[in-house]
Structure 1
């Protein structure tokens, strides 16, 4: 993730900022330029100080303070590049559900920052009715009889609204013995399933993927039952990035995909802050790192790994100094690094493919939006 600068007063800005803390200018994200711009009212829409253009309009979800992205130039209504992938949202007349949805949108927009930077293929359900990417944000049945499960099904990603509750999310993390559980982690994992479909299955990469992640034709239901009955193998850390990754090759791919996004986004943030790891106590070398490349653009995956490992040691040590859990409580063994390298090559090839930059269907963009609010939810 980048740092941004207010065009009105030169103050440092962060991706989630809605207004500049120094001059008070309202801020809007321009997805086509990957830039956060100070804005001012205009006769039509707003004027973006980043390019001194007028006539830009906010995503419809700005009305609910759930999005500050701008529509494509020339559009006056509808949803932005991130929110046009929304299907069902919670009942916004319920303050608790509205607050939870806003938290989900923060994580979703950070996800889309990465996907757009890589120019990954992103089709909506309107553009691809069978497999377009769509998110349903669902609240549990108020009667308590049925709980929503987060998951992916042929492009449809369901995110349980309950995950936006920090107490509930921590309860589930402890119950499942997970070292890490966040909203952003859920989004990155579930979209990994979607991109397995798009970049592996539909792109003729099945055999190459199976050579790295294993045979995905094994029964998924049985594999899931086996995992929850017996748990992960004792030596799982030798070959997998997480215990859950041992469940099935699909889950291994999704977990590895999520970690690849964690790593790249964190390294970009470290680079933006100019963070350099160079401990004086390191007498034999190996703990020094400086990000002198763009993690989203670099072709050599070794550069990412060689920078990431020292940063991991430093971040975890700082977290421990605060009495907190390790920020990145995972071990990257050579087999895991090989899997991350496979993901890196998939993303890199897609980013340079002409088909990856399509996502411009004028008809779909002018069609009525998919997003709909849950009817009558309590």
Structure 2
């Protein structure tokens, strides 16, 4: 996610900032402009805050005729009652992550159709609480279900350890599940099954059998050579969703690094990769060159994390078969754009 600049004081801003941390100007993010506006200045004329600003801290602004809720908040179909402050706090965190997802999808050109406008092909989010019933994170026919408890760090870390996962975040969940949605958009409805099956396998195989097998015996030996994660080995649909999520991870992180002017060089001249390309420039490149930059950046970021006593920021390896799948996603995204 690139940084934004306060038009009043020049301070760096994020889409989640409701006030400028330097000059305290009131701020709002305008998705159509992809910009953070100072609301009590001339740039803020004609914009109003999303109706969810008081309750969920939404920092987005809309045109009055588009209201009352912003594009991200409109995608939320179901939330629990507001009688539990823990659920409300978790909901705020998940909505923040969803807004980042929406910005990235718009920025790379993928279409987002509101399910309220198109019940057959639209996207919606059910954000549910385990206070009422067990919640399984997943996707079904355009509806993404998220367990609010996933925004609790302790709960999420417990599940990560139980499932032997190297990485588990709210934004990661959202990127994975929206990958299932875009499988329908980019593959199923476009009739691209043959090309998909050549790389990921036949999705017509029983999903339930694959699920039972995965949790009974785990990933096959040597899975690291062909899949980006152990969970990706479970079924072609999950391989696609995991690959799609990693594609979004990579593009957003490269976008951030490029926007801050980062450049990289290896320990010798032969491994220098130069300036990191911002996300917008990625559209003009093959994904193999993107993967080169990403490998160098991830190696550096992992080293920084280790220096701080943390686990690797990106604990995954991109082998040639994995990069080929990422390149396939990349080409489909560019085609959709």
TM-score category of the 2 structures, normalised to the smaller one: over 0.9
C-alpha deviations, 1:321-365, integer Å up to 9, x for none? 1111000000000000000000001110001xxxxxxxxxxxxxx
- Equivalence map 1:1-378=2 (5 Å): 1-40=1-40, 49=42, 52=43, 54-71=45-62, 73-75=63-65, 77-142=67-132, 146-279=133-266, 282-283=267-268, 285-293=270-278, 294-295=280-281, 297-351=283-337
Q: Secondary structure at the match of 1:312?
A: helix
Deviating above 4 A after TM superposition, structure 1's stretches of 4 or more consecutive aligned residues are none
Q: Count residues in correspondence.
A: 336
C-alpha deviations, 1:281-322, integer Å up to 9, x for none? x23622534224535533422231121010011001111111
**Partners of 2:272 and 2:233 in 1: how far apart?**
30
**Partners of 2:189 and 2:28 in 1: how far apart?**
35
**Partners of 2:244 and 2:66 in 1: how far apart?**
35
Which structure 1 segments of 5+ residues have no match?
Answer: 41-46, 352-378
**Partners of 1:295 and 1:94 in 2: how far apart?**
45
**Partners of 2:39 and 2:84 in 1: how far apart?**
31
**Partners of 1:208 and 1:224 in 2: how far apart?**
24
Which structure 2 segments of 5+ residues have no match?
Answer: none
Task: Supply the RMSD in Å over aligned alpha carbons.
Answer: 1.5
Higher relative contact order (CA 8 A, sep 6+): 1
Contact 1:124 / 1:134 at 8 angstroms: preserved in 2? yes
Q: 1:65 to 1:89 in 2, by over 3 A?
A: same
**Partners of 1:230 and 1:193 in 2: how far apart?**
24
**Partners of 2:282 and 2:228 in 1: how far apart?**
21
TM-score, normalised with respect to structure 1: 0.86
Return the offset for 1:246: 0.1
**Partners of 2:272 and 2:175 in 1: how far apart?**
28
Q: 1:147 to 1:53 in 2, by over 3 A?
A: closer
**Partners of 1:160 and 1:228 in 2: how far apart?**
20
Q: Secondary structure at the match of 2:28?
A: strand
Q: Secondary structure at the match of 2:270?
A: coil
Return the offset for 1:55: 2.4
TM-score, normalised with respect to structure 2: 0.96
Contact 1:57 / 1:70 at 8 angstroms: preserved in 2? yes
